[in-house]
Amino acid sequence: AQKVTQAQTEISVVEKEDVTLDCVYETRDTTYYLFWYKQPPSGELVFLIRRNSFDEQNEISGRYSWNFQKSTSSFNFTITASQVVDSAVYFCALSERRYGGATNKLIFGTGTLLAVQP
């Protein structure tokens, strides 16, 4: 069965520290897609990144970086030099591709609450 595990329920860091959010997934599909979303205290869900299963290159976007390793079924997210504005719940998600290509189904992890203290 498809499953996403975010073992870290809450993480608290002090501003400027680096922090890594872990994500482990399970799937029987050979082709799949992984996502990270951010949910700040205001409640909206903000898309951060999408990664194909056949592209294991790491990605960096400013202070954010993602490490995708198929061998360990992990898709970890690192924030460098964290800031108070990074405080949010971060969700990792796996896309289940069925339904004749008509739609996606995102399977979310339980989220990690990141608190960045000033």
Partner 1 sequence: DTAVSQTPKYLVTQMGNDKSIKCEQNLGHDTMYWYKQDSKKFLKIMFSYNNKELIINETVPNRFSPKSPDKAHLNLHINSLELGDSAVYFCASSRPPGTSGRDEQFFGPGTRLTVL
Under the rule (CB under 8 A), what is the footprint of partner 1?
33, 35, 37, 39, 43-47, 50, 52, 89, 91, 95, 97, 99, 101-108, 110-111
Q: Which is nearer to partner 1, 62 or 101 (CB)?
A: 101
Q: Half-sphere exposure of residue 18, counting CA atoms within 13 Å on the CB side?
A: 7
Q: Which is nearer to partner 1, 42 or 118 (CB)?
A: 42
Q: Which is nearer to partner 1, 71 or 99 (CB)?
A: 99
Least Å from the CB of residue 83 to partner 1 = 22
Least Å from the CB of residue 44 to partner 1 = 5
Q: Could you give the CA distance from residue 23 to residue 20 in angstroms, rounded to a whole number? A: 10
Backbone φ and ψ for 72, nearest 5 degrees, come out as -110, 5
Whether residue 35 contacts residue 52, with contact meaning beta carbons closer than 8 Å, is answered with: no
User: To which residue do tokens 């599909």 refer?
Assistant: 29
Q: Which is nearer to partner 1, 79 or 89 (CB)?
A: 89
Q: Could you give the CA distance from residue 117 to residue 84 in angstroms, rounded to a whole number? A: 6
Least Å from the CB of residue 90 to partner 1 = 11
Q: Could you give the CA distance from residue 10 to residue 18 in angstroms, rounded to a whole number? A: 15
Least Å from the CB of residue 99 to partner 1 = 5
